Amino acid sequence: MHPKSFRMPDGVPPSLRPLMELFGSDALRVRCIAGETLHEEILYLIRFFRHFDFPDSSEELARVVSPGSISAFLAKYAQEKSPGSIRWMRVSLRAFLRFAYRSALFDRDFSALVPVRSIRQLGTVPRSLPDACIAQLRKGVDRGSPAGLRDSAIICLLAVYGVRGVQIRRLRLDDIDWRKERIHFPAAKGGRPIEQHLTPEAGNLIFEYIRSARPESACAEVFLTLREPFLPLPNASCLSAMVRRRIERLGLVLPDGVSSGTHGFRHAFACRMVGKIPFKELVDQLGHRDPASTLIYSKVDLDGLRQAALPWPGGGQ
C-alpha cells in the first residue's frame, strides 16, 4: 500500500497530525503493515497522547515523555482495559517509540520500557459479556431513531451469531439471501467465512434498518455511518464505542475484567454453545480455520471436563 493512500483517523489533534503522517509513512514503508493495522495503531496512540493532554508540538511531547511517564501510563492502562486492548496498546506504543528514536524526536529508544508479554496458549478462560447484560442490551435500545435502528440490528447480529466486529462492518447487502433466509459473513483474520440461517429477529431488524434508516448510498456495505458522507463503519473502535455507549446509557455494570467491546459477544456466544453442539460445528460457527483456536472455550465446560477426567490411580471411587 502506498503511503499516500493512507487515511488519517479522526481525532488526531492538528498539532500532532504532521508527526502521525510521518509515523504512518514510515510504518507503511519500513514495516510494510496493512493500512487497516496502521489505522488501528494510530487510534491507540491517540489514547497515549491524550494521557499527556495532547502536547502542542512534537518538541513538547519529547519533553513530557520519560521512562517514568511511560511506565505510569502503561500501569494505569493495564488496570482499566481488557487484555486485547493492552496488547494493541503495547504493540502500537512500542512501534511509535522506535520510530521516534530513529527520527531523532527522542534522544533515547524508550521502546524497551514497553513490556513484551508472551501469552500461553489456552492459558486463560475467555471473559464474556454476561447473558443478562446481552439480553438487556437487545431489549433496551430505543429504535425510534436511525442510530437506534442501526445499533439494535448490529447488537442482534453480534449476540446471535458470535461474529467478529470486522465481519459486521464488511457485511454487504448481497450477503443476505432473503428468499432462502441465509446470511453470509465474510472471512476475517485468516479464518473461514460463516454462513448461517437468518433468524426472524435478525432478519426483521436488518430489514427495518435498511427500509427506514439506512441512507441512500453507493456503498454495498449494510451498515453505514450516520452523518454525511455516508460510508461503511471505518474501524473496530467505532463499533466498540457504540456498544460502550449503549451499556452506559442503560446503566449496566460489567464484571471486573470484562471488556465492553464487540468481542465480549463472541466469547459469550462460544461459551453458550460449548457442550451443546458438536465441537466441529462450533469451529465452523466461529469461522476458525484451525480447531485449536476453539479449544480455549472447552475450559468453560466444567461438567464436560469432569466427565472426561480419568480417576486418579489409587484414589478410590
Residue 15: enclosing H or E segment and its boundaries? Answer: none
The answer for 281, left when phi > 0, alpha when psi is -120 to 50, beta otherwise, is alpha
Whether 45 and 88 have beta carbons less than 8 Å apart is answered as: no
**187: which residues sit within 8 A by CB, 6+ positions away?**
193, 287
d(CA 127, CA 82): 9
DSSP 213: T
Alpha helices by DSSP H, 164-262: 165-169, 200-212, 236-249
**Catalytic positions, please?**
164, 189, 263, 266, 288, 297
Among 293, 291, 309, smallest CA distance to 301 is for 309
Strand 194-197 to 176-177 pairing: unpaired
Among 153, 172, 158, 146, smallest CA distance to 232 is for 172
Half-sphere exposure (Cβ direction) of 241: Cα atoms closer than 13 Å: 7
Report the DSSP beta bridge partners of residue 224: 232
Residue at grid coordinates 489409587: 314
